Amino acid sequence: MSVKTVTLSEDAYLALAARKRAGESFTEVVRRLTSTERSLQEFVGAWEQVPPEKLARLEEWIAHSDESSQAEMLRLGRRRGK
């Protein structure tokens, strides 16, 4: 496999190094962070540390946003004569 050299600023290097997992190469970090296909496995346990009351508020906000979005879509549809 061919290799390319990339120059990074110090802050960019530190940001990339902070995302590096144990045993992971910088090539693997770049591939993981730039991948457009993400596995749901990456998100397993992501919400475990969020307090239940904060999750409840988030769920309420999502439900309200869904209702608002649906109402707006109906309004726009009526305005366009659909």
Share of the chain above pLDDT 70, in %: 98
pLDDT recorded at residue 69? 85
* pLDDT tens, position by position, 15-32: 999 999 999 999 999 998
Q: At 82, is the secondary structure helix, strand, or coil?
A: coil
Q: Give the residue-averaged pLDDT of 48-73.
A: 87
Contact (CB, 8 A) for 32 and 16:
no
pLDDT at residue 13 greater than cutoff 90: yes
For residue 82, the model assigns a pLDDT of 53
Assigned token pair, 57 = 């508020």
What DSSP letter does each residue of 16-67 carry, written as one string? HHHHPPTT--HHHHHHHHH-S---GGGGTTTTTTS-HHHHHHHHHHHHHHHH
- Residue-level pLDDT at 72: 83
